[in-house]
Chain A
Amino acid sequence: MELFVGTILYMAKYWTQILELTGEHLYMSVSAILIAILAGVPLAVFMTRNRTVATIIQTIINIIQTIPSLSLLLIIMIFLGLGYSTAIVALALYALLPIIQNTYAGLENVDKNLVEAGTGMGMTPMQLLTKVKLPLALPIILAGVRVASVVSIGAATIATFVGAGGLGEMIMRGISTTDDQKILAGAIPAALLVILVDMLLGLIEKKAGYRMHTVKTQK
């Protein structure tokens, strides 16, 4: 109880600093998710065209997941140096797995009859992708984005190791001085961010699913 009250008081006293760190945290994780989507979705589309490529990409993103965060940061640092860029690229690499996996699974599981119907109507492969496959796979892709965001926001606490700040900085300062209030003052906003973003994406996901449904019944 004393810890709880102390944490609230601490957060009230340093709220500008916590807000700034939260901003950095959100900036890095959102950028990482956007990059992961922009890179992951086209890659997954490519994977549906070619089995060998699919296996290779699958293996690579699986390997990336197993690299410990600090070594991944060190490798990226060789090219991008200290700061936001290195942290964002590392987070994007971790976020690739759920996005690629879900997009790939979503596209692969589109009803073959619908694809055939599209082909029968004379659709080009591009039209088939943008007008049939991607819209139908969208709810599953969004579920992947949701997982990726939770992973990214959680993992963004490692950004502090390359001087990029974020709420991890507060947590690490707490750990290095055995100050539980500081640890919580960093951990609580991070947890709230995860919950908030997850709820937001859940709403979007629901909306997307609903729209697909109405499109289908209109046909």
Chain B
Amino acid sequence: MRYRWMSSIIMVVISALLVAGCGGGGNVVKIGHQATSEQTIIAHMLKQLIEANSDIKTELVGGLGGTPVVLKAMQNNDIQISAIRYVGTDLTSSLGLNEFSKDPQEAFDLVKNGVAEKFDQLWFPSYGFDNTYIFTVRKDVAEKYNLHKISDLTAHAKDMNMASDAPWLERTNDGYPAFKKEYGFEFGKTTPMDIGLVYKAVDKGDVDIVLAYSTDSRLKEYNLVTLEDDKHFFPPYGASPVVRNDTLKQYPQLEELINKLTGKIDTQTMTALNYQADIEKLDPADIAKKFLVEQGLIK
């Protein structure tokens, strides 16, 4: 008897789980973003901008684990808007291209057409900033080895421990394997970690050099020195929103609304917004609101 009682409890629990798992959907446009402050702030901007100027309901889906997850979620229709996608990342990881022009305009056209054809998604014009990879060292290390550009590392790299986000080490086209070929040296040791950790790691001397994101405010905060990409290895990483074409058809006013942010945020502005989140610890929603009000985009 007791067993029957237990099994019925288990059945109830399982059916409850199944029902809960199937919820969601409805007439809500979902905006997906990754965990970085930059992505979170921009996602909040899109949400507030859309909701203030139309009756479209939006919902944020945050903390997604990288561009491949965002892309797959877009294809599954789990989300309809990617808050930010970067030209270089999508060219290599989503479209799988090996060779492409590093001219910003040509790369942009290539990714726009590729994403439209392959995934039926619209790649919007850039917000106005690039968030590229940038090699970064502590000031005393830069002075000790006299480092200004990446080529200066050639003689010292084998004694250095380099930290970057894990995907970069694996990506064949714009990642570490191609980097080694282009610059002709490799680091003594590589330590993959979450991008949010690299700044503190290099500041504290746990690693010698890190591959940072150029719009991150912690570069300034920790007084770090960035090295020039003298062989122009890294492709352009212009930042744009991307939306499913069927969503744009369903909500015709969406395209115009999102385009209000086009060209509004240059690299300096983005770095300043990131500073408010990462150093001043302000809430991303408040940062987004303040910016939109200043720009006169919402009341």
Query: Chain A interface (Cβ within 8 Å of chain B)?
Result: 27, 31, 34, 38, 70, 73-74, 77-78, 81-85, 88, 158, 160-163, 165, 168-169, 172-173, 175-179
Q: From B35, B68, B79, give the contact of A176 (CB < 8 A).
A: B35
Q: Are B199 and A178 in contact (CB under 8 A)?
A: yes
Residues of B within 8 A of A27 (CB): 20
CB-contacts of B173-229 with A (<8 A): 194-197, 199-200, 218
Min Cβ gap A218→B in Å is 17
Min Cβ gap B84→A in Å is 14
* Pairs across A and B, CB under 8 Å, 20 listed: A27-B20, A34-B10, A70-B69, A74-B69, A74-B72, A83-B21, A83-B24, A84-B21, A88-B17, A88-B21, A161-B65, A161-B66, A162-B65, A162-B69, A176-B195, A176-B196, A177-B196, A177-B277, A177-B281, A178-B278
Alpha-carbon gap, A161 to B32, bound state (A): 11
Q: Are A178 and B69 in contact (CB under 8 A)?
A: no
Residue from B17, B24, B63, B73 having most chain A Cβ neighbours under 10 A:
B63
Q: Mark B57-89, 1 if CB is under 8 A from A, else 0.
A: 000011111101100110010110000000000
Q: From A73, A77, A161, A178, give the contact of B196 (CB < 8 A).
A: A178
Q: Are A177 and B278 in contact (CB under 8 A)?
A: yes
B14 within 8 Å of A by Cβ?
yes
Query: Given that A83-B78, A175-B197, A178-B218 are contacting pairs, would A31 and B17 also be in contact in the complex, using a CB cutoff of 8 Å?
Result: yes
Alpha-carbon gap, A168 to B35, bound state (A): 11
Min Cβ gap A155→B in Å is 14
Min Cβ gap B73→A in Å is 5
Min Cβ gap B163→A in Å is 14
Q: Are B69 and A73 in contact (CB under 8 A)?
A: yes
B13 within 8 Å of A by Cβ?
yes
Q: Are B36 and A73 in contact (CB under 8 A)?
A: no
Residues of B within 8 A of A85 (CB): 21
Alpha-carbon gap, A70 to B199, bound state (A): 23
Residues of A within 8 A of B200 (CB): 178
Q: Are A70 and B64 in contact (CB under 8 A)?
A: no
Residues of B within 8 A of A38 (CB): 10, 14
The A interface is mostly helix, strand or loop, or mixed, namely helix
Query: Given that A70-B66, A177-B196 are contacting pairs, would A82 and B14 also be in contact in the complex, using a CB cutoff of 8 Å?
Result: no
Alpha-carbon gap, A85 to B281, bound state (A): 32
Q: Mark B31-60, 1 if CB is under 8 A from A, else 0.
A: 010011100100000000000000000000
In the complex formed, the residue of A with least CB distance to B195 is A176
Min Cβ gap B87→A in Å is 22
Query: Given that A88-B21, A176-B195 are contacting pairs, would A161 and B281 also be in contact in the complex, using a CB cutoff of 8 Å?
Result: no
Residues of B within 8 A of A173 (CB): 35, 40, 63
Residues of A within 8 A of B69 (CB): 70, 73-74, 77, 161-162
Q: From B13, B73, B195, B197, give the contact of A163 (CB < 8 A).
A: B73
Query: Given that A74-B69, A162-B64, A169-B62 are contacting pairs, would A82 and B196 also be in contact in the complex, using a CB cutoff of 8 Å?
Result: no
Residues of A within 8 A of B194 (CB): 172, 175-176
Q: From B20, B21, B40, B72, give the contact of A78 (CB < 8 A).
A: B72
Min Cβ gap A93→B in Å is 16
Q: Are B68 and A74 in contact (CB under 8 A)?
A: yes
Query: Given that A77-B69, A77-B73, A178-B278 are contacting pairs, would A160 and B63 also be in contact in the complex, using a CB cutoff of 8 Å?
Result: yes
In the complex formed, the residue of A with least CB distance to B14 is A34
Alpha-carbon gap, A178 to B275, bound state (A): 12
Residues of B within 8 A of A168 (CB): 63
Alpha-carbon gap, A192 to B46, bound state (A): 37
In the complex formed, the residue of A with least CB distance to B13 is A34
Q: From A77, A158, A161, A175, give the contact of B76 (CB < 8 A).
A: A77
Min Cβ gap A179→B in Å is 6
Alpha-carbon gap, A157 to B287, bound state (A): 27
Query: Given that A73-B69, A77-B72 are contacting pairs, would A172 and B35 also be in contact in the complex, using a CB cutoff of 8 Å?
Result: yes
